[in-house]
Structure 1
């Protein structure tokens, strides 16, 4: 029902176009609102992947792949909020053994094209990063570096660990050094984040960076999955703007189709900015 309420203003903004053109545009917009993002999450055993997912998302993850299958296969988990869904792919961490890493390299190369983003978790006190570094440069490579967001997990365990209810000044300084080290080793496209699930520290910053790293069509469906405290104004604004831009891209695609007559193409180009503004305005009806 809310989707129909959102589509009506968009339809009105397209009223100057032939019906078959506006229907094509509205159909593609509807497909955008039903996009199912796929986020990969990786890290060594005990890095806290499950804890992070449970802290980030409103819905608890439920497996959709056969958990009795080979443990070296990725496990897929589905999250659902209302009509919107997303998938988390639990990718095995590297560094168990040379033979396993060869298998994992093939597995990753198969999975990378379908992933919208990879959350690569590294424990704050993990100093054995040579294998991760090699894997990142040789397997992820230039083609998919933009999909990786490094997350330093369990930041409360960084030295000097005290088990308190907030990070000490010394711990924050050491986390800063860890972030600098990861930037030096990996030269990532996206800024490195640091979080502590136990202390609920760093999650908002990490979430806002995650939304910025996602492809435009994925940010709104992921934003709606987030737990309420993490759906900040910055998250919602980025998702809203992305939705407007994806709707604008739909108009660009339709306008460039060979069968579109020149006068109709002129109308599409003339109303594009208006349609994008309307899409932003009705975002709440879809998400």
Structure 2
């Protein structure tokens, strides 16, 4: 079965509906399948944003725009796997200077509504977090906290750093302490992750958390972009379930439209669970 067969299966599950309802639902599902997520990534200079992106995603990260630094606009990168596209917005890290931070606050306010998720990188050995905390409370605020996933980067550099190829027990203990510290400081909505790209440590857990933090419409298109080792069964199951639930929401929206005759509403509601089941069954052929 291919994408065409998947579309045919969805179409058949809607065959009992009036044509206008079937076409409207299929149009909305098609938009879901081709949704283009946007993920912001921020962190101070040297936090390892580029190396993390290269470790997470399968395709080459290519710049969309070559923005001069003086414009204070974030760099935007495009990722593509087959027909699926997503963007990464490289947001400037805070704490360089008070003047810059006030400019960045305005920049973030413009960007935050457009982002599906913000990966906020904090280096494992970074102890100067007062500016980050202030920025999180004053700029991100209550409105966008749910969009932020804190990531402790370069976990192999936490004390006692040795350059070894595995994390020591003491390092793991200190990473756990750092995670607790960030939870106390920021009181984030989402659990804090810790990764080491050099050691390929923590990436699977982070990928699974990232998929869980994304809006339902964004999880499948992002799952497609993940590098093969990170597309775990847990990632695929969450993305597939999200797709099914989102398709269900599309059917619910059509069903609740005003002026729909009661018999038509009943027919739409009667096929809902079947449509959702078919959407889950054919998910793999779209994503």
TM-score, scaled to structure 1: 0.98
Q: Distance in 2 between matches of 1:275 and 1:55?
A: 36
Instruction: Give the deviation of 1:285 after TM superposition.
Output: 1.1
- Aligned partners of 2:181 and 2:254: how far apart in 1? 46
User: CA offset at residue 60 of structure 1?
Assistant: 1.3
Distance in 1 (alpha carbons) for counterparts of 2:109 and 2:2: 39
Match of 1:62 in 2: 62
* Counterparts of 1:10 and 1:269, CA distance in 2: 16
Specify the alignment match of 2:2 in structure 1: 2
Partner of 1:95: 95
* SS in structure 2 of the partner of residue 89 of structure 1: strand
Give CA deviations for 1:60-106 in whole Å, capped at 9, x if unaligned. 11010123353621000000000000000000000000010000000
Aligned positions, number: 287
1:162-173 equivalences under 5 Å are 162-173=162-173
In the TM superposition, 1:8-19 aligns within 5 A as 8-19=8-19
Distance 1:30 1:23 in 2: 10
CA distance in 2: counterparts of 1:94 and 1:275, whole angstroms? 46
Aligned to 1:74: 74
C-alpha distance in 2 between matches for 1:223 and 1:161: 33
Instruction: Give the deviation of 1:260 after TM superposition.
Output: 2.3
Q: 2:22 aligns to what?
A: 22
Report matched runs for 1:1-287 at 5 Å.
2-68=2-68, 70=70, 72-287=72-287
Offset at residue 257 of structure 1 (A)? 1.3
Q: 1: distance between equivalents of 2:139 and 2:123?
A: 21
Q: Which runs of 5+ in 2 are unaligned?
A: none
Q: Using the alignment, how far apart are the partners of 1:74 and 1:252 within structure 2?
A: 38
Secondary structure in 2 aligned to 1:222? Answer: helix
SS at match of 2:77: strand
Q: CA deviation at 1:132?
A: 0.1
Unaligned runs of 5+ in 1: none
Q: In structure 1, how many angstroms separate the alpha carbons of the residues matched to 2:93 and 2:72?
A: 10
Q: Secondary structure at the match of 2:70?
A: coil
User: 1-side partners of 2:69 and 2:135: how far apart?
Assistant: 25
